[in-house]
Amino acid sequence: MPDACPSCALDFRREQGYYIGAMYINYGVTAAVLLGVSLPLVGKYPLPNILWPLGVFCLVFPVWFFRYSRSLWLAIDLYIVSKISK
């Protein structure tokens, strides 16, 4: 990840533990997608046939989505700070 945004110069280097909120976002989105997909399929297909693809999803999706959850966490922080400073 670069040290700052090239267009607006927002500093991405934050204090230790800052991006823990991004992990919560990542977990929440993964769980929501998993439940949204798995609940309709539970009665239609045998459970072992559902568990393998969803297990792979739970391993691959958070790795792919983590960069977006960090961006979302930064956007939420920037929004809150801009509202407080007004």
Residue 44 has φ and ψ, to the nearest 5°, of -90, -30
Spacing of C-alpha 47 from chain mean position: 26
Q: What is the pLDDT of residues 1-21, one digit of tens each?
A: 777 777 877 777 787 888 899
Who contacts 66 (Cβ-Cβ below 8 Å, separation ≥6)? 22, 23, 26
pTM: 0.80
Question: Does the pLDDT at position 51 exceed 80?
Answer: yes
Question: What confidence score (pLDDT) does residue 83 get?
Answer: 85
Report how far residue 46's alpha carbon sits from residue 73's, in angstroms, rounded to the nearest whole number. 37
With cut-offs at 50, 70 and 90, classify the pLDDT of residue 39. very high
How much is the average pLDDT of 52-78? 93
With cut-offs at 50, 70 and 90, classify the pLDDT of residue 85. confident
Nearest to 29 by CA among 79, 69, 59, 57: 69
Centre a 10 Å sphere on the Cβ of residue 34 and count the other Cβ atoms it contains: 15
